A and B are shown apart, each in its own frame.
Chain A
């Protein structure tokens, strides 16, 4: 599906129709709130880096440049000064509250109405309503909007889908979107950021929704970054503690880009969701930084999948981000730099609760931003290696990248992505909660009454999850085995 255009001729290259793009699909309340924080941060990051206001490659990966004076579709500009930036996105929600708020806020010019798909009735925290009912209702519309957006370029590299697992819209319609993307754009990678429900989730049916969504993620996502609210909350609390305790003295700037937004939402919410959403938004920015900006060792999104997904089903990555607060001191001495690496492997910085150090690594990626060189990277890998256990066939399973442009307000940052068997407990836990609910048949009728839903949907979903857990079990079993070299081919001389 991705055509290619021969690019020859004068540099600097900015061929109009060939672009390496990312597209964001945000589904449901949670997905859209995070998405909103993401777009806000992305704009601020590009504004900080791109002082001349030229529409360059880095911006083009996430934004179109549009001449708003032109009516209709002809307004796209490919070069030159920034006129009006439009996010490459589709916003989907079956309630209007969140999307409406976005359209009334600071970001209203970043989206046009053609990018939205909304309804008013909501999914009632029911995966089946989101997936089956709204799925079939909006399938054509979704397709139409995606095709339209893809028209603006020949080379879409990646789709990001942001949603939560526990509700109805994000979970059901979000995973429906995955299927549509796979059918329509089979060669474009699907990266999913999924917010998993924590144990104390107040949505009773979240185990059902999550299990049903997991099956879809197993089958239709290329890569999933599972995140839980509890971890985000812990991160925010830690930052607040650090900032307020004055431990870091005058060196700390309280307003870190990691946590503070510019007040996109008028309502102040009870829990610090804004700050939490910003952490996720930062994750996505850092994930794509090496693809957008220059560096001595670039990493595209397709490289992430190539290196971190050794077997198609094992595509769940634990992410951790550092630093989480801004330091005023720009020239960080090596000791502090090394601390950044150590932090990335501390549980305090993970976006999901898990214990990678005591489990088995299948692969690990380190994406570094800022003034960090290859020797710093290598020194720290050597330091970290002894305390980490890698699977026998991937003893040196490190994928690294160096991007010269640091995030705003930091001199450098590190994003670590680990494919590790430590996600197993999360899935086992999910399965437990599901079984407890399913055994009692609680609330099941709400699902079964939806056309296309049968009990087999549930049993198949649990099987799918159990099979995944088994894969991790097999790998864990190899943990204590000695690593031996296999006998090589014998060549007759």
Chain B
């Protein structure tokens, strides 16, 4: 089954390119530490999901590119074409010349309705190229105007038009210290709308990825390209093919469906985060070896202590004693709090993957009480190595780890809202104070729900 990706705005398009590039390069990586037949099956599965084929044999990304100004799309298209290995469809782009001015209201209320037909037609064309549709992967930022506002609008329309297809939104959380001054307003409006119309929100925070670039990858002058490449690597490690079940060597067909089933048991809890291990520069990789035991131990502690990378993990944090409830309800202000999960998915790729012991992730103490660990935890595997990593593990979790960042954004937006600053820019395009209040209410609810796990 195939996934149709919708890339929105500057961020969405810049990241989208890196994702397809990472997926393609990985699936055409020589070796992969497995047999030729295995490699071919992996490639074929990746292709079915993400690429269609044209007459001359160059794979075409199953993607629709949308932006309200042309510079980024032009760059994205030319970068893909220049690589010569894969490309975007010639007629897969929708572009305007005015931009959304970092204004969620403009993206949602003006651009949305104005261009709905054209955009939905493009998506329809892409859907028709799929033999069978798994769902939509929508890449967007929260801080700007197009990705956020138009992204929310498009997601809503996808819900209306393709009610049986799944939608996962890849949302980029901006740096805490401004890229955009009104980013907190744009963020709360985006999140509240997506919470109603999307099936899962896969979140990446610029601050966290930036730290990975600085500390793990050792990059001195970090550019957005570096950040996007780390992000693409993480997404690739989630979305590349894995075996359909224990003991099988066939690749699973419905990645989005399976992700949702494993990770989003309840519509009140939709926020997912990704962790990846190991993550390092290619130079260091050549000199490193890992054991599954080591990797999984670190990954589990990263989950429990809410660390976003394998450096600086707090090993003091422990799960509460089995059978006893966690000490006091989670308060957002507590520093080292144990991160309770609703559901976790571990994805293992590489050598001796069948010998990896994931028992520690099945500990009921990690999870909230309303799901049996057997339902709350899943593991996917493939012995086909990912990129140059002999062994690599990814963890997709639905847990409390996004509560603190969410709370910060809501807090800042609320302070600004109280002063009424910038509101005239939104009301000008039909987003009234009511809408803001509704968003605040919904998000406070989400925060409370996660805190009470």
Contacts and interface: CB of A to CB of B under 8 A. Distances in A.
Contact of A303 (B72, B102, B221, B421): B102
A491 interface: yes
Contacts of A300: 69, 98-99, 101
Interface in B43-97: 69-75, 77-78, 90-91, 93-97
Shortest Cβ-Cβ A-B pairs, 4 listed: A302-B101, A375-B222, A398-B178, A310-B421
Interface of A: 2, 4, 6-13, 15, 18-20, 57, 155, 157, 293-294, 296-298, 300, 302-303, 305-312, 334, 363, 373-376, 378, 381-382, 385, 392-400, 402, 485-486, 488-489, 491, 493
A438 B178 CA distance: 45
B101 A399 contact: no
Contacts of A381: 177-178
B416 interface: yes
Contacts of A308: 181
B321 interface: no
B422 interface: yes
Contact of B419 (A11, A305, A385, A393): A393
Contact of A400 (B91, B179, B415): B179
Contact of B412 (A157, A378, A396): A396
Given A305-B101, A306-B102, A393 B181 contact: no
A50 to B, nearest CB: 15
- Interface of A: prevailing SS: loop
Given A307-B181, A378-B175, A18 B118 contact: no
Interface stretch (B245-253, B374-382, B387-395, B437-445): B437-445
B452 interface: yes
A493 B441 CA distance: 12
B232 to A, nearest CB: 15
Nearest to B78: A12
Contacts of B220: 375
A485 B407 CA distance: 12
Interface stretch (B29-37, B129-137, B223-231, B311-319): B223-231
Contact of B181 (A19, A298, A375, A398): A398
A393 B96 contact: no
B349 interface: no
B81 to A, nearest CB: 9
A13 B220 CA distance: 35
A7 B70 CA distance: 10
Q: Which of B102, B213, B441 has the most CB of A within 10 A?
A: B102
Contacts, number: 177
Interface of B: 10, 14, 69-75, 77-78, 90-91, 93-99, 101-103, 114-115, 118, 122, 145, 175-182, 210, 213-214, 219-225, 227, 410-412, 414-416, 418-422, 424-425, 440-441, 444-445, 448-449, 452
B181 A378 contact: no
Contact of A491 (B99, B419, B445): B445
B445 A20 contact: no
A298 B424 contact: no
A307 B180 contact: yes
B71 to A, nearest CB: 5
Nearest to B65: A11
Max chain B C-beta neighbours (<10 A), residue from A381, A398, A402: A398
Nearest to A295: B71
B415 A307 contact: no
Contacts of B222: 373-375
A19 to B, nearest CB: 6
A374 B220 CA distance: 11
Contact of B421 (A8, A311, A385, A402): A311
A7 B65 CA distance: 12
B115 A296 contact: no
Contact of A11 (B74, B98, B213, B225): B74
A399 B74 contact: no
B444 A488 contact: yes
Given A375-B214, A399-B180, A491-B441, A155 B71 contact: no
A296 B225 contact: yes
B96 A2 contact: no
Contacts of A302: 98-99, 101-103
Contacts of A18: 96-97
A392 B415 contact: yes
Given A373-B221, A374-B223, A307 B73 contact: no
Contacts of B223: 296, 373-375
A491 B224 contact: no
B440 A397 contact: no
B101 A296 contact: no
B424 A493 contact: no
18 contacts: A4-B115, A6-B118, A8-B94, A15-B97, A19-B97, A296-B224, A297-B179, A297-B224, A298-B10, A302-B103, A308-B181, A311-B421, A373-B221, A373-B222, A378-B175, A395-B412, A486-B415, A489-B414
